[in-house]
Amino acid sequence: MKRIGMLTSGGDCQALNATMRGVAKGLYNYYHDEVEIIGFEDGYKGLIYADYRLMKPGDFSGILTRGGTILGTSRQPFKLMRQPDENGLDKVEAMKQTYRKLKLDCLVVLGGNGSQKTANLLREEGLNIVSLPKTIDNDLWGTDMTFGFQSAVNIATNAIDCIHTTAASHGRVFIVEIMGHKVGWLTLYAGIAGGADIILLPEIPYDIDKVVGALKARQKEGKRFSIIAVAEGAISKENAKLSKKELKEKKKTGLVYPSVAYEIGAQITERTGQEVRVTVPGHMQRGGEPCPYDRTLASRLGAYAAGMIERGEYGFMVAVKNNDLTKVPLEEVAGRLKTVDPQCSMIAEAKTMGICFGDE
Ligand code: F6P
């Protein structure tokens, strides 16, 4: 009898269920009734505190299109993993104990950056791990694509589309703030797909004068409105020069805005007198059903993971490379971010179309 543990960790996203379904279908196909899947509740928390349930094949039926995660999820910061909990429990030892007590052959982890680091830690501790690349941010090193990303691009694009019509009616400047944590993938894709005039990414620190210059140039051309897609992690040229500590200090003394989009909005109004509205779609971007692309990707990734388990290939994350699936060692993935290269052709093409990135 094969015994496989499974958990979903960190912020949720679309296609978590579709991915688990892919893994389960693959495993049941390989092992029939000679496999048991144990689902841990709320991510690593379930593994630490032995909160789990034996999954039935029926649990994986009808979930291809369902958003969220049937197992629940939680954020268990990697940096706290080696620290005992409030009752003095050694979390790493507890996770190992649960794994051993349940006589697991492998643990399948669906997670983003922090979760991959913990997956690697468990691998170092001797557990058999297969992980899957989850996040709307698409910032996992080693894979061209993560599941959840394309669904989030659809939602963020739809938000920009909706803003377009109202911005055009009123002749306003609109800022749409898009998720993505420290990277700009989601903003870049949704910004281009939504026809944003200005796109501001964390990887290209912006100069507010350039942003204002681009807005004025549009006005001069007779354009009544402008749309700015701002990544939640966007940063000004001045702030990018500061250390983390200096930035923290600066934020304490200056005016405090709810987020970077509001700060940029205020600066534009101050410099141009133009009305600016800010829209933050926020967690909507992680919600709802996965788009067809993600359903397909998730199913493929899940089935590939089942194949790895069958072949005994442990210690890897399933990844997309040149439209094909492959596996990357967890120690290579852990702790590395995949950021947008400011010199990449996608940025060059966007600039060719006249999109301003706040740098020139
Ligand atoms: O990593 C996914 C993500 O949605 C990021 O884009 C965002 O910065 C973060 O999670 C929000 O986290 P939380 O759900 O904890 O507010």
pLDDT surpassing 80 at residue 255: no
Its CATH architecture, for the domain 151-286, is 3-Layer(aba) Sandwich (3.40)
Residue 254 has pLDDT above 90, yes or no: no
pLDDT of residue 62: 97
Q: What is the pLDDT of residue 250?
A: 85
Q: Which of 195-199, 249-253, 355-359 has the lowest mean pLDDT?
A: 249-253
Q: Would you state the pLDDT for residue 251?
A: 81
pLDDT for residue 236 is more than 80: yes
H-type alpha helices, the chain: 16-31, 44-48, 91-101, 113-124, 149-170, 185-193, 208-220, 237-240, 244-253, 260-272, 292-311, 330-333, 345-352
pLDDT of the residue at 326? 98
* pLDDT band, very low/low/confident/very high, at 344 (cuts 50, 70, 90): very high
Which ligand 1 atom is the nearest neighbour of the CA of 283? Answer: 4
181 ligand 1 Cβ < 6 A:
yes
Instruction: Evaluate whether 16 touches 112 at the Cβ level (below 8 Å).
Output: no
Atom of ligand 1 nearest to the CA of 137: 6
Please indicate whether residue 180, judged by its CB atom, sits closer than 6 Å to ligand 1. Answer: yes
Sign of CA dihedral 116, 121, 124, 128: negative
* 189 beta partners: none
Mutation test residue for ligand 1: of 113, 136, 149, 181, the one with most atoms within 8 Å of CB: 181
Q: Which of 73, 136, 146 to mutate to test the pocket of ligand 1 (most atoms within 8 A of CB)?
A: 136
Give ranges for CATH 3.40.50.460 in the chain.
Answer: 151-286
48 CA distance to ligand 1 middle (Å): 23
Distance in angstroms (rounded) separating the CA atoms of residues 232 and 137:
11
Report the separation in Å between the CA atom of 27 and the middle of ligand 1, taken as the mean of its atom positions: 31
Arithmetic mean of pLDDT, 101-113: 98
Where do you find CATH 3.40.50.450 in the chain? Answer: 2-148+290-333
Measured in Å, residue 81 CA sits from the centre of ligand 1 at 19
Whether 177 is in the pocket of ligand 1, judged by its Cβ within 6 Å, is: no
Q: Is residue 199 within 8 Å of residue 350, measured between CB atoms?
A: yes
CA 11–ligand 1 middle distance (angstroms): 6
Sign of CA dihedral 5, 8, 14, 17: positive
Which one has a higher pLDDT value, 329 or 250?
329
- For residues 255 and 10, the model is more confident at 10
Q: Does the annotation mark 105 as catalytic?
A: no
**271 φ, ψ to 5°?**
-85, -25
Tell me the pLDDT tens digit for each residue of 158-216: 999 999 999 999 999 999 999 999 999 999 999 999 999 999 999 999 999 999 999 99
For residue 202 and ligand 1, the question of a CB distance below 6 A is answered with no
pLDDT of residue 249: 87
Q: For residue 272, how far is its CA from the centre of ligand 1 (angstroms)?
A: 33
**pLDDT value at position 252?**
82
Q: Whose CA is nearest to atom 15 of ligand 1?
A: 11
Q: Which is catalytic among the residues 59, 137, 197, 294? A: 137
**79 alpha carbon to ligand 1 midpoint, in Å?**
17
For ligand 1, say whether the CB of 136 is within 6 Å of any of its atoms.
yes
Model pTM?
A: 0.97
Our mutation pick for probing the ligand 1 site, out of 75, 76, 286, 337, counting the most ligand atoms within 8 A of Cβ, is: 286
Q: For position 57, what pLDDT does the model report?
A: 97
Whether the CB-CB separation of 65 and 97 falls below 8 Å is answered with no
Task: Tell me the per-residue pLDDT of 64-97, one tens digit each, with 9 for 90 and over.
Answer: 999 999 999 999 999 999 999 999 999 999 999 9
Residue range 35-55, pLDDT digits in tens: 999 999 999 999 999 999 999
Alpha carbon distance 96, 12 (integer Å): 24
The reply to whether ligand 1 has any atom less than 6 angstroms from the CB of 112 is yes
- Computed over every residue of the chain, the mean pLDDT equals 97
**Domain 2-148+290-333: CATH class, spelled out:** alpha beta
